Amino acid sequence: MNWRKIFGYRSKTAWKMFIASIVYIFILFLILQAIIPNSIRPALVNIGFLGFSLSLLALIIGLIKPQFVLPKIQIKTRKKVVYSYLYLALAFFLMSIVFIDGKSPSNQTVKKADTKVATSQDTKKDTADTKSKEEADRKAQEETDRKAQEETQRKAQEEANRKAQEEASQKSNAVVSSSSGNHNGSNRKPFQNDPSDDKEANTTCKGQIKGNANSKKYHVPGGQYYDSTKDNIVWFCSETDAQAAGYVRSKK
Protein backbone atom coordinates (compact mmCIF):
# COMPACT_ATOMS: atom_id res chain seq x y z
CA MET A 1 0.00 0.00 0.00
CA ASN A 2 1.39 3.36 -1.06
CA TRP A 3 0.72 5.81 1.85
CA ARG A 4 1.70 8.76 -0.29
CA LYS A 5 -1.22 8.09 -2.55
CA ILE A 6 -3.48 7.86 0.47
CA PHE A 7 -2.24 11.25 1.69
CA GLY A 8 -3.31 12.72 -1.65
CA TYR A 9 -0.24 14.63 -2.77
CA ARG A 10 1.12 11.77 -4.86
CA SER A 11 -1.93 12.04 -7.03
CA LYS A 12 -2.70 15.08 -9.09
CA THR A 13 -6.43 14.65 -8.49
CA ALA A 14 -7.80 17.95 -7.19
CA TRP A 15 -10.35 16.62 -4.74
CA LYS A 16 -7.84 14.18 -3.16
CA MET A 17 -5.38 16.99 -2.63
CA PHE A 18 -8.18 19.11 -1.19
CA ILE A 19 -9.19 16.45 1.36
CA ALA A 20 -5.56 15.68 2.24
CA SER A 21 -4.86 19.36 2.90
CA ILE A 22 -7.87 19.62 5.20
CA VAL A 23 -6.70 16.56 7.16
CA TYR A 24 -3.18 17.91 7.50
CA ILE A 25 -4.47 21.29 8.63
CA PHE A 26 -6.63 19.59 11.25
CA ILE A 27 -3.66 17.58 12.55
CA LEU A 28 -1.55 20.74 12.66
CA PHE A 29 -4.19 22.54 14.71
CA LEU A 30 -4.36 19.62 17.16
CA ILE A 31 -0.60 19.83 17.66
CA LEU A 32 -0.77 23.60 18.16
CA GLN A 33 -3.59 23.21 20.64
CA ALA A 34 -1.29 21.22 22.94
CA ILE A 35 1.45 23.84 22.65
CA ILE A 36 -0.32 27.21 22.65
CA PRO A 37 -1.25 28.50 26.14
CA ASN A 38 -4.88 28.91 27.10
CA SER A 39 -4.62 32.70 27.32
CA ILE A 40 -4.04 32.97 23.54
CA ARG A 41 -6.66 30.46 22.44
CA PRO A 42 -9.70 32.77 22.74
CA ALA A 43 -8.06 35.18 20.27
CA LEU A 44 -7.41 32.31 17.84
CA VAL A 45 -11.04 31.23 18.11
CA ASN A 46 -12.19 34.74 17.27
CA ILE A 47 -9.78 34.88 14.30
CA GLY A 48 -11.04 31.51 13.09
CA PHE A 49 -14.69 32.56 13.15
CA LEU A 50 -13.85 35.86 11.44
CA GLY A 51 -11.86 34.08 8.70
CA PHE A 52 -14.65 31.55 8.26
CA SER A 53 -17.20 34.34 7.78
CA LEU A 54 -15.02 36.25 5.31
CA SER A 55 -14.25 33.06 3.35
CA LEU A 56 -17.94 32.29 2.97
CA LEU A 57 -18.57 35.86 1.84
CA ALA A 58 -15.74 35.66 -0.72
CA LEU A 59 -17.05 32.29 -1.91
CA ILE A 60 -20.47 33.76 -2.57
CA ILE A 61 -19.00 36.78 -4.36
CA GLY A 62 -16.62 34.58 -6.39
CA LEU A 63 -19.45 32.41 -7.61
CA ILE A 64 -20.99 35.56 -9.05
CA LYS A 65 -17.83 37.42 -10.21
CA PRO A 66 -14.67 35.25 -9.97
CA GLN A 67 -12.39 38.14 -10.96
CA PHE A 68 -13.29 40.01 -7.74
CA VAL A 69 -11.80 37.33 -5.49
CA LEU A 70 -9.04 35.90 -7.72
CA PRO A 71 -7.15 39.02 -8.80
CA LYS A 72 -3.70 37.42 -9.44
CA ILE A 73 -4.85 34.23 -11.09
CA GLN A 74 -4.96 34.40 -14.87
CA ILE A 75 -7.63 31.79 -15.38
CA LYS A 76 -10.46 32.92 -13.15
CA THR A 77 -13.04 30.14 -12.96
CA ARG A 78 -15.75 29.39 -10.47
CA LYS A 79 -14.16 25.97 -9.83
CA LYS A 80 -10.99 27.63 -8.56
CA VAL A 81 -13.12 29.95 -6.43
CA VAL A 82 -14.86 26.98 -4.85
CA TYR A 83 -11.63 25.10 -4.13
CA SER A 84 -9.80 28.15 -2.79
CA TYR A 85 -12.37 29.74 -0.53
CA LEU A 86 -14.08 26.54 0.53
CA TYR A 87 -10.65 25.33 1.65
CA LEU A 88 -10.09 28.56 3.59
CA ALA A 89 -13.54 28.40 5.13
CA LEU A 90 -13.00 24.83 6.29
CA ALA A 91 -9.52 25.63 7.58
CA PHE A 92 -10.74 28.59 9.66
CA PHE A 93 -13.69 26.54 10.87
CA LEU A 94 -11.41 23.71 12.03
CA MET A 95 -9.18 26.23 13.78
CA SER A 96 -12.16 27.63 15.66
CA ILE A 97 -13.40 24.15 16.62
CA VAL A 98 -9.97 22.99 17.82
CA PHE A 99 -9.11 26.07 19.85
CA ILE A 100 -12.59 26.65 21.23
CA ASP A 101 -11.76 24.01 23.85
CA GLY A 102 -9.03 26.32 24.98
CA LYS A 103 -11.50 29.15 25.23
CA SER A 104 -14.01 27.14 27.20
CA PRO A 105 -11.76 26.50 30.22
CA SER A 106 -10.94 30.18 30.30
CA ASN A 107 -14.61 31.03 30.18
CA GLN A 108 -15.34 28.38 32.76
CA THR A 109 -12.62 29.80 34.98
CA VAL A 110 -14.09 33.27 34.60
CA LYS A 111 -17.58 31.93 35.20
CA LYS A 112 -16.41 30.02 38.26
CA ALA A 113 -14.72 33.15 39.56
CA ASP A 114 -17.84 35.19 38.88
CA THR A 115 -19.97 32.50 40.51
CA LYS A 116 -17.66 32.44 43.51
CA VAL A 117 -17.81 36.22 43.83
CA ALA A 118 -21.59 36.20 43.43
CA THR A 119 -21.90 33.40 45.98
CA SER A 120 -19.68 35.30 48.39
CA GLN A 121 -21.75 38.45 47.92
CA ASP A 122 -24.97 36.51 48.40
CA THR A 123 -23.54 34.90 51.54
CA LYS A 124 -22.53 38.29 52.91
CA LYS A 125 -25.95 39.69 52.07
CA ASP A 126 -27.69 36.73 53.71
CA THR A 127 -25.48 37.11 56.77
CA ALA A 128 -26.26 40.83 56.96
CA ASP A 129 -29.99 40.14 56.53
CA THR A 130 -29.85 37.46 59.23
CA LYS A 131 -28.07 39.80 61.63
CA SER A 132 -30.55 42.58 60.90
CA LYS A 133 -33.47 40.22 61.52
CA GLU A 134 -31.91 38.94 64.75
CA GLU A 135 -31.30 42.52 65.91
CA ALA A 136 -34.91 43.46 65.11
CA ASP A 137 -36.20 40.38 66.94
CA ARG A 138 -33.99 41.16 69.94
CA LYS A 139 -35.23 44.75 70.13
CA ALA A 140 -38.84 43.59 69.78
CA GLN A 141 -38.32 41.05 72.60
CA GLU A 142 -36.71 43.69 74.81
CA GLU A 143 -39.62 46.05 74.15
CA THR A 144 -42.10 43.28 74.99
CA ASP A 145 -40.24 42.42 78.21
CA ARG A 146 -40.05 46.08 79.20
CA LYS A 147 -43.78 46.58 78.69
CA ALA A 148 -44.55 43.39 80.62
CA GLN A 149 -42.31 44.54 83.48
CA GLU A 150 -43.94 47.98 83.53
CA GLU A 151 -47.39 46.36 83.56
CA THR A 152 -46.36 44.09 86.45
CA GLN A 153 -44.98 47.04 88.42
CA ARG A 154 -48.12 49.05 87.74
CA LYS A 155 -50.38 46.24 88.94
CA ALA A 156 -48.20 45.71 92.03
CA GLN A 157 -48.37 49.44 92.81
CA GLU A 158 -52.15 49.47 92.35
CA GLU A 159 -52.47 46.42 94.62
CA ALA A 160 -50.26 48.06 97.25
CA ASN A 161 -52.31 51.28 97.07
CA ARG A 162 -55.54 49.30 97.35
CA LYS A 163 -54.30 47.41 100.41
CA ALA A 164 -53.06 50.63 101.98
CA GLN A 165 -56.47 52.23 101.41
CA GLU A 166 -58.21 49.19 102.87
CA GLU A 167 -55.96 49.22 105.93
CA ALA A 168 -56.49 52.95 106.36
CA SER A 169 -60.25 52.48 105.99
CA GLN A 170 -60.24 49.62 108.52
CA LYS A 171 -58.24 51.68 110.98
CA SER A 172 -60.56 54.62 110.46
CA ASN A 173 -63.62 52.41 111.02
CA ALA A 174 -62.01 50.92 114.12
CA VAL A 175 -61.34 54.39 115.50
CA VAL A 176 -64.92 55.46 114.75
CA SER A 177 -66.32 52.29 116.33
CA SER A 178 -64.14 52.71 119.39
CA SER A 179 -65.16 56.33 119.68
CA SER A 180 -68.83 55.43 119.28
CA GLY A 181 -68.53 52.68 121.86
CA ASN A 182 -66.88 54.99 124.34
CA HIS A 183 -69.52 57.61 123.65
CA ASN A 184 -72.35 55.21 124.36
CA GLY A 185 -70.59 54.05 127.49
CA SER A 186 -70.67 50.34 126.60
CA ASN A 187 -68.94 47.74 124.56
CA ARG A 188 -72.35 46.52 123.35
CA LYS A 189 -71.48 42.94 124.31
CA PRO A 190 -73.80 41.06 126.70
CA PHE A 191 -72.25 39.30 129.66
CA GLN A 192 -73.63 36.90 132.23
CA ASN A 193 -73.07 37.39 135.95
CA ASP A 194 -72.71 34.87 138.64
CA PRO A 195 -76.09 34.53 140.47
CA SER A 196 -74.48 35.59 143.73
CA ASP A 197 -73.14 38.89 142.34
CA ASP A 198 -75.09 42.11 142.71
CA LYS A 199 -75.63 44.71 140.03
CA GLU A 200 -73.24 47.37 141.29
CA ALA A 201 -70.39 44.91 141.47
CA ASN A 202 -70.79 43.56 137.93
CA THR A 203 -72.30 46.17 135.63
CA THR A 204 -70.16 48.30 133.34
CA CYS A 205 -72.80 50.64 131.94
CA LYS A 206 -75.50 52.72 133.53
CA GLY A 207 -79.16 51.78 133.18
CA GLN A 208 -78.27 48.09 132.73
CA ILE A 209 -80.82 45.84 131.04
CA LYS A 210 -81.28 42.56 132.88
CA GLY A 211 -82.15 39.48 130.84
CA ASN A 212 -83.16 35.99 131.92
CA ALA A 213 -81.25 33.34 130.02
CA ASN A 214 -83.99 30.74 130.58
CA SER A 215 -87.05 32.76 129.63
CA LYS A 216 -85.26 34.89 127.02
CA LYS A 217 -86.95 37.96 128.47
CA TYR A 218 -85.28 41.13 129.59
CA HIS A 219 -86.30 43.61 132.30
CA VAL A 220 -85.66 47.30 132.35
CA PRO A 221 -84.83 49.21 135.52
CA GLY A 222 -88.04 50.02 137.41
CA GLY A 223 -89.84 46.94 136.11
CA GLN A 224 -91.83 44.68 138.43
CA TYR A 225 -89.43 41.74 138.19
CA TYR A 226 -86.24 43.68 137.61
CA ASP A 227 -84.96 43.41 141.17
CA SER A 228 -86.41 39.96 141.75
CA THR A 229 -84.58 38.42 138.80
CA LYS A 230 -81.35 37.04 140.26
CA ASP A 231 -80.65 33.74 138.49
CA ASN A 232 -79.33 33.18 134.96
CA ILE A 233 -78.89 36.90 134.47
CA VAL A 234 -77.56 38.26 131.18
CA TRP A 235 -76.77 41.95 131.19
CA PHE A 236 -77.27 44.30 128.21
CA CYS A 237 -76.39 47.93 127.86
CA SER A 238 -79.54 48.74 125.89
CA GLU A 239 -82.81 47.23 124.76
CA THR A 240 -81.48 47.18 121.23
CA ASP A 241 -78.65 44.90 122.31
CA ALA A 242 -81.07 42.63 124.14
CA GLN A 243 -83.39 42.40 121.16
CA ALA A 244 -80.45 41.76 118.88
CA ALA A 245 -79.54 38.81 121.13
CA GLY A 246 -83.03 37.34 120.72
CA TYR A 247 -84.59 38.57 123.98
CA VAL A 248 -88.06 40.12 124.29
CA ARG A 249 -89.11 42.72 126.82
CA SER A 250 -91.06 41.52 129.80
CA LYS A 251 -94.52 43.02 130.08
CA LYS A 252 -94.16 43.27 133.85
Name which residue leads in pLDDT, 34 or 141: 141
Tell me, what amino acid is at 209? I
Q: How do residues 165-189 score in pLDDT, each as one tens digit? A: 888 888 777 655 544 544 444 444 5
* Mean residue pLDDT across the chain: 75
Q: Sign of the C-alpha dihedral, residues 222, 223, 228, 233?
A: negative
Nearest 5°: phi and psi at 221? Answer: -55, 135
Mean pLDDT, residues 66-73 taken together: 69
pTM, two decimals, is 0.34
Q: How far apart, in whole angstroms, are the C-alpha atoms of residue 21 and residue 44?
A: 20
Q: For residue 160, how far is the Cα from the chain centroid?
A: 39
Lowest mean pLDDT among 37-46, 56-65, 161-170, 197-206: 197-206
Mean pLDDT, residues 242-249 taken together: 87
Share of the chain above pLDDT 90, in %: 12
CB atoms within 10 A of CB 53: 13
Q: How far apart, in whole angstroms, are the C-alpha atoms of residue 210 and residue 16?
A: 157
Name which residue leads in pLDDT, 147 or 238: 147
Share of the chain above pLDDT 70, in %: 71
pLDDT at 160 > cutoff 50: yes
pLDDT at 60 > cutoff 60: yes
Give buried/exposed letters for 55-77 (b at 16+ CB in 10 A, else e).
bbebbeebeeebeebbeeeeebe
